[in-house]
Amino acid sequence: MLYGLMVTYMRPHVALDTLERIERQTRTLDEIVIIDNGIEHPLPEVEYTVLRMEENLGPAGAIAVGIDHILKRANDDDWIVLIDDDDPPATCNLIERLMLFAESVSAPSLGGVGGVGARLDLARSRLIRVADEELDSREIAVDYFGGGQYPIYRVAALRRSGVPSAELFFGFDDLELGLRLRAAGFHLVSSGQIHKELRVIAGSLGVDPSESRRRLSEPSWRTYYGCRNFLVILRTFGGRLPAIRYTCLMLGKPAFNLFQDWRLALRVMRITSRALFDGWTRRMGRRIEPSLGCRSTG
């Protein structure tokens, strides 16, 4: 069986549109489980399995609940595809092609397949984009699959690696899941052909992402969770040295930009410092409300 797992939060019309497009895929899903985090704007009654949360668990918490729910009823040879509620499939046959690719990778240690993957460089404490030149390969070994790209995971691998960490709340839950599978002895494979096609569709083929890493952008609650969670993941899977290196990089970036825009640099420094402190002291969970900017939940 092929299970679909979708997390949605306060945008029922967007989620319903995505579900409608999934139903038009050339490979339909045998069952779709939806985790509804939206208390104020819940998803209406639908024909799918809907688990309604009593509070917003964030994507990480909801994915943990959903995978645990499916693992209790699925067989080891089943598969789970993760669905973002606001990211419909880029092509009408994406799921079918990914399943065919998964079935063609004859390796008992296969944990999952996807179209778009990336790697974690512990030596430099940052994520590495798969180079355009690698996309001519049929199979590309990666550390994780990006969100919204319909990664498909083996139930047997998820059962052995354990349910993803719910304490992240938001941000890098996909990276934590991938590294969790890798640590359990499984490997993740991206389809070079599909990866290249999706990069063309997104207009990112031939784009150098290093330029955006050097620029400061206006900080938000997303900045906090991304910084905190990445630090925690580095400590968990890489140890103290990559985490220390990342801390220095995150503090150094706004300091380096002080003379260009000191007000922006200070705003970035403020939220980054808080995220790093919480990461080192393991203050996890929902610390900042997404709807309240940078206001703490206590």
The helix-helix angle for 94-104 and 192-202 (nearest 10°) equals: 150
Structural domains for the chain: 2-202 (3.90.550.60), 215-292 (no CATH)
Would you place residue 257 in the very low, low, confident or very high pLDDT band (cuts 50, 70, 90)? confident
Ramachandran angles phi, psi of 72, nearest 5°: -70, -20
Q: What tokens does 183 get? A: 């640590």
The model's pLDDT over 79-136, given as tens digits with 9 standing for 90+, comes to 999 999 999 999 999 999 999 999 999 788 999 999 999 999 999 999 999 999 999 9
Q: How many residues does the chain have?
A: 298
Q: What is the pLDDT of residues 8-59, one digit of tens each?
A: 998 999 999 999 999 999 999 999 999 999 877 778 877 899 999 999 999 9
pTM of the model: 0.92
Q: What is the model's pLDDT at position 212? A: 58
User: Phi then psi for 263, rounded to 5 degrees?
Assistant: -65, -50
